[in-house]
């Protein structure tokens, strides 16, 4: 615990989402006063409601986690919704925070903001050097507009807004709904259900050749707290492990941890998404001392144990 957090009134959007449920207990344990409205209580698409909520909380720090998220399927089906809601939630929140004199705002971006063929590892300076992968471009571009807004507001108004680019998150409490889940919870659910049904084979979207970088959710929460306390710069900062794994290898690892022996087959009729994802994480370590410490296999084991303990699994 440091002397920083007991002086902070922290307003967290998306506090009841996957990442928020891991972050808010850490904030409270560090001594911060936390305001954490859930979605029915606060619709960030409503600018008046957003202003009223921030006026009531009078925060010194806003942490913006709220987002409309989903896997490749959801992004393909609702690209307009993903663009509009992610852009408008952030744009309105940042403007309200500025006009109310909030001292600092931390905004979570997305690895989907990077160009489709950015050289790996992705360095923050590459974020504008190409168009994002098509299946999630509306989401990635909407979130990237918030980086533009924060940098413009810093230049014109002196507003202290910082922007983090996290790798794909995973961990206990993730969304396992097959219609909206990301790759790890989707695979965990598929392999558990196939094992329980007598070791049936599992179909996996795409070719399995694409690679991804995965960050354990508790490590991400730690990074947010370090950045909020120690970083005040305009440049975006990657948050990750600096490791990548092909989807085919990820599937084999999850199958082994679950105890599924029924085999898999990849369906190339579905898109792979971005060919590769691996972040250059040196800036985070240099600027605020963050380095991920949970291995992928350790995080997967915890996630699988959590999911298998659910009453419905």
For residue 204, give every residue at least 6 positions away whose Cβ sits within 8 Å of its Cβ, in sequence order, or none: 187, 190, 247, 251, 264, 265, 266, 267
Considering the candidates 139, 153, 216, 307, report the single residue annotated as catalytic.
139
Active site residue 157: no
- Residue 145 CB-density burial (10 A; 0-12 exposed, 13-18 middle, 19+ buried): middle
Q: How many CB atoms lie within 10 A of CB 206?
A: 18
The CA distances from residue 208 to 8, 244, 251, 271, in Å, are 45, 13, 8, 10
Return the DSSP state at 204.
E
List, in sequence order, every residue forming a beta bridge with 115; answer none if it has no partner: 132
Q: Which of 168, 132, 165 is nearest to 146 (CA)?
A: 165
**244 near 183, Cβ under 8 Å?**
no
What gap in Å lies between CA 168 and CA 213, rounded to an integer?
6
Show which residues are catalytic.
139
């Amino acid at each position: 615990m440091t002397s920083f957090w007991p002086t902070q009134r922290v307003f967290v959007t998306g506090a009841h989402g996957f990442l928020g449920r891991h972050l808010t207990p850490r904030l409270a344990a560090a001594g911060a006063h936390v305001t954490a409205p859930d979605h029915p209580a606060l619709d960030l698409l409503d600018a008046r409601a957003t202003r009223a909520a921030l006026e009531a909380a009078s925060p010194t720090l806003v942490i913006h986690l709220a987002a409309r998220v989903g896997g490749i399927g959801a992004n393909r089906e609702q690209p307009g919704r993903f663009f509009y809601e992610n852009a408008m939630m952030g744009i309105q929140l940042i403007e309200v925070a500025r006009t109310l004199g909030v001292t600092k705002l931390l905004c979570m971006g997305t690895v989907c903001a990077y160009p489709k063929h950015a050289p790996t590892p992705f360095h923050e300076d590459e974020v504008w050097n190409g168009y994002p992968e098509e299946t999630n471009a509306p989401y990635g571009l909407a979130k990237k507009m918030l980086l533009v807004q924060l940098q413009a507001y810093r230049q014109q108004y002196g507003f202290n807004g910082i922007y983090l680019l996290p790798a794909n998150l995973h961990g206990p409490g993730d969304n396992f709904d097959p219609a909206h889940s990301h790759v790890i919870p989707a695979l965990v659910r598929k392999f558990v259900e196939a094992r329980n049904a007598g070791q049936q084979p599992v179909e996996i979207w795409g070719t399995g050749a694409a690679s991804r970088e995965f960050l354990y959710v508790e490590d991400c929460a730690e990074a947010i707290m370090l950045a909020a306390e120690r970083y005040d710069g305009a440049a975006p900062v990657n948050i990750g492990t600096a490791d990548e794994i092909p989807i085919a290898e990820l599937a084999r690892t999850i199958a082994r941890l679950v105890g599924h022996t029924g085999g898999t087959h990849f369906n190339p009729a579905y898109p792979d998404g971005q060919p590769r994802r691996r972040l250059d994480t040196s800036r985070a370590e240099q600027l605020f001392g963050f380095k991920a410490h949970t291995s992928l296999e350790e995080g997967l084991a915890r996630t699988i144990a959590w999911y298998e303990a659910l009453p419905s699994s």
